[in-house]
Structure 1
Amino acid sequence: MTSKELVIKTLEFKNKSGRAPRQLWSLPWAGNHYPEELAAINRDFPGDFEGCNVTYKERAIGRGDQYEVGEFTDDWGSRFINVQKGVHGQVKEPIVPEADENWDDLSKVHFPTEWLSFDIEEANRLCKGNDKFVIAGCCPRPFEQLQFIRTSELLFIDLALKPAGFLKFIKKMHQFYCELLEKWAKTDVDALNMMDDWGTQRGLLIHPDTWVEIFKPLYKDYIDIAHRAGKKMFMHSDGHTLAIYPHLIELGLDAFNSQIFCMGVENLAPFKGKITFWGEVDRQHLLPEGTTKEIQDAIKKVHDTLWQDGGCIAQCEFGVGAKPENVRQVYASWDELTG
């Protein structure tokens, strides 16, 4: 069975004899601190997923390296300040200024239409003959991008007051993301992808009713675009996102990368067999502080609670503070339990 076949069977709850598909996310920090250990993990537990990295005919406006100390400007024009090498920085000043309560001045906001300049045939060549599960090279993130443009504090006020200009901007951003996904849906990739970090340690960053009113319809369109083209849809979100799980399942999301240990693995049991848990392993405590035995026990709990002839992907993030032996144990444990 190829990696592609393994992932599809897992997503469709038909993986009766194969192992759990593997995917390792490694931040530059891991490569800087543990290059040999990272290389060995990738060698011994090769991944089943691959991105589709295309070239663009038009150059976007982004400048700098988002993982280096200093300033980084993204392709929308938002400026990030980073004080730690190997991780992502933060936006300190809005490009839609605080005084502009109706979002009238968008002169500093750049819609990255350059992202549309990739060649579909190039993407198809990258997919052709690839036995791994290929995910598209774009990732709509409306909530986060709004924060980058406005800062989190001001955005929360906008979400409460809902000024007309703000809602108009969301519609325009959504149209751009839909256009981008529609183009990627014409390629031979296996899945489209989206993300937004929605959770705090104990709940959503906004009221669930506001999420349903403003953001659920956006995600519905993104998921529908993928499914109309015969693609799967994957989504990532950090934090405690238990409140939106039923909505994402209703929309037909195929795989959700979320902090399942933050929410309590047992609390996700009602969703077993309804959505694929795209990882992850507790990177707040277990990966940096736990023992390999604790990692082994944690993976067994996930398997026993959420695995149903698939429905789980052995995904893990090798990020700041994580012990390489714990990251390795994640994949060793999944291999012991499946396939």
Structure 2
Amino acid sequence: MSNADLLVKAMTYQNPETIPVSIGTLPALWRKHPGEMKEITARYPQFFGDISEQYNYDTYTPASYHEGSFADEWGCVWSNIQEGQESIVTGHPVKTREDIRSLKIPDDRTGRLPHGFMYLRLLDLRGFEEAMFDFADEAPELQILIDKVLEYNMIQVDVAIGKNSGPVQYFGDDLGMQKGLAIGRDKWVKYMKPCFTKLYKKVHDAGKLVYMHTDGCIWEIMPDLKEAGVNMVNPQYRANGLDNLVRVCKGKIPINLDLDRQFLPFATPSSIEDHVRECIEALYLPSGGLGISLELGQDVSPEIIEASLAALEKYRHYKG
């Protein structure tokens, strides 16, 4: 059974045969350790398929992971000074609240829903500080901006659904900081929850499930995300804390747990196995509700990558 099928079973509590495991490798990692990554991925086809035979840095690396700058469809300027790592927004086109009123939504109708498509889009357009002032003041222009971004995303979701033959629609938007929500739960519920609810209703009306990646400390709004229509959340271990995730999610909100990326560069083979075991033992239910996600960057050594994959292979068969 494919990992995608296992993930659907986990999302819907249909007793997956094993715990689904998702592995992400950043281009910078392949650039730093091309030979080792080819060998490691060849040893774990259950996680990587035949990528060891097919991988080509130029082909597999998205444009935003190359050094340089570019403007997206909204006019946000993205800059990259580290080849193989993701770009960040350094140019925010909506400088003033007056500019919000004259902002036009892009003509793009390709179904593009990039990481940061809703909440982070507001910050990308305005800049973090100006966006925080907008939320603090609850200026009328804030709702105007939200409505424009939502209008665009509603169009894109329709297109994306039409192109997607699978059972799951994937979304990504980092809603939290390291220790909570920048705008607080009350304002998130007031301003952002209605947006996600409208967007995800379209997905459910099309008969699909919603998977949402979101970084940061977001455990306090995970019940709200479920109410908004998210079928599985991809939260971070460190930012949320395992105890919070067990208390809020186990048996109630399916999660694809992102293992501790900040720990990996300092891990030992034995400590990474302990980490994997701790997470699975705490969150596992025979009925499902759990997947494990591992993102590997250039700061993780081949030794720890190998140990992580060995631990995941061992514990994905966990039965309690």
TM-score where L is the length of structure 1: 0.81
Q: CA deviation at 1:291?
A: 0.7
Q: Distance in 2 between matches of 1:39 and 1:273?
A: 38
Q: CA deviation at 1:298?
A: 0.8
Q: Distance in 2 between matches of 1:319 and 1:48?
A: 16
1:80-119 matches, cutoff 5 A = 80-98=78-96, 100-101=97-98, 103-106=100-103, 111-116=106-111
SS of the equivalent of 1:273 reads coil
On the 8 A contact 2:169/2:210 being kept in 1, the answer is yes
Q: CA deviation at 1:101?
A: 4.7
On the 8 A contact 2:11/2:254 being kept in 1, the answer is yes
Aligned match of 2:53: none
301, 304, 312: which one aligns with 1:334: 312
| 1:153-193 deviation per Cα after TM superposition (whole angstroms, max 9, x unaligned) | 11111112233333122112212212221233234122112
On the 8 A contact 1:20/1:335 being kept in 2, the answer is no
Q: Distance in 2 between matches of 1:140 and 1:228?
A: 23
Aligned match of 1:141: 117
Q: Distance in 1 between matches of 2:299 and 2:115?
A: 26
Judging changes above 3 Å, is the alpha-carbon distance between structure 1 residues 110 and 30 closer, same or farther for their aligned structure 2 residues? Answer: farther
Aligned match of 1:8: 8
Q: CA deviation at 1:76?
A: 1.9
Q: CA deviation at 1:139?
A: 5.4
Q: Distance in 2 between matches of 1:41 and 1:246?
A: 38
On the 8 A contact 1:27/1:86 being kept in 2, the answer is yes
Q: CA deviation at 1:137?
A: 7.1
Q: CA deviation at 1:138?
A: 5.8
Higher helix share: 2
1:181-330 matches, cutoff 5 A = 181-186=157-162, 187-270=164-247, 271-284=249-262, 286-309=263-286, 310-330=288-308
Aligned match of 1:31: 30
Q: Distance in 2 between matches of 1:45 and 1:328?
A: 13
Q: CA deviation at 1:208?
A: 0.9
Count of aligned pairs between the two proteins: 301
SS of the equivalent of 2:65 reads coil
SS of the equivalent of 2:310 reads helix
Q: Distance in 2 between matches of 1:184 and 1:140?
A: 16
Q: Distance in 2 between matches of 1:244 and 1:218?
A: 14
Residue identity (%): 27
Q: Distance in 2 between matches of 1:71 and 1:234?
A: 30
Q: CA deviation at 1:311?
A: 2.0
Q: CA deviation at 1:228?
A: 1.8
Q: CA RMSD in A?
A: 2.4
Q: CA deviation at 1:45?
A: 4.1
On the 8 A contact 1:80/1:91 being kept in 2, the answer is yes
Judging changes above 3 Å, is the alpha-carbon distance between structure 1 residues 23 and 88 closer, same or farther for their aligned structure 2 residues? Answer: same
SS of the equivalent of 1:111 reads coil
Structure 1: segments with no counterpart, 5+ residues: 50-63, 117-135
On the 8 A contact 2:110/2:160 being kept in 1, the answer is no
